[in-house]
Homo-oligomer: A and B are copies of this chain.
């Protein structure tokens, strides 16, 4: 059993900071769960174009308000507490925060913690990962 506390983890290298957001990785690949689990904070007024080419991601809004724009369709979905979106097609999207967003994020395959964002805004593929897609 692994037990971790966000308040402690955010004072360690589990926390990563970038422009407009920070993320605390409570579970990473090394934990062997087959997914990673992150609590991510998006700053108010941030507008983040994102494209996870090599990962599926689900995002559940714990607090805050914003919207996600699906760049394939132009559709905009409102984000508020209780709304979840899942990028099951490696969807290109823009996330906009009207107020600070607290999000619970799951990645498959799990993030290793050693990724850096490429110039395209994506995390690179983990060469060691099996992309555990369900049929």
User: Within 8 Å of chain B (Cβ to Cβ): is A116?
Assistant: no
Q: Is the CB of B70 within 8 A of A134?
A: no
Counting chain A residues whose Cβ lies within 8 A of the other chain, the interface size class is: 35 or more
Q: Is the CB of A108 within 8 A of B3?
A: no
User: Within 8 Å of chain B (Cβ to Cβ): is A45?
Assistant: no
* Chain A 100-128 residues near chain B, CB threshold 8 A: 104, 106, 108, 110, 128
Q: Which residues of B contact A56 (CB under 8 A)?
A: 33-34
Q: A37-B58, A60-B26, A106-B106 are in contact. Are A6 and B84 (CB under 8 A)?
A: yes
Most interface-central of A37, A133, A134 (chain B CB within 10 A): A134
Q: A32-B133, A34-B35, A34-B133 are in contact. Are A88 and B2 (CB under 8 A)?
A: yes
Return A20 CB to nearest CB of chain B, in Å: 21
> Which residue numbers of A lie inside 8 Å of B, CB to CB?
1-7, 26-27, 29-35, 37, 39, 56, 58, 60, 62, 68, 70, 72, 75, 77, 82-89, 91, 93, 104, 106, 108, 110, 128, 130, 132-135
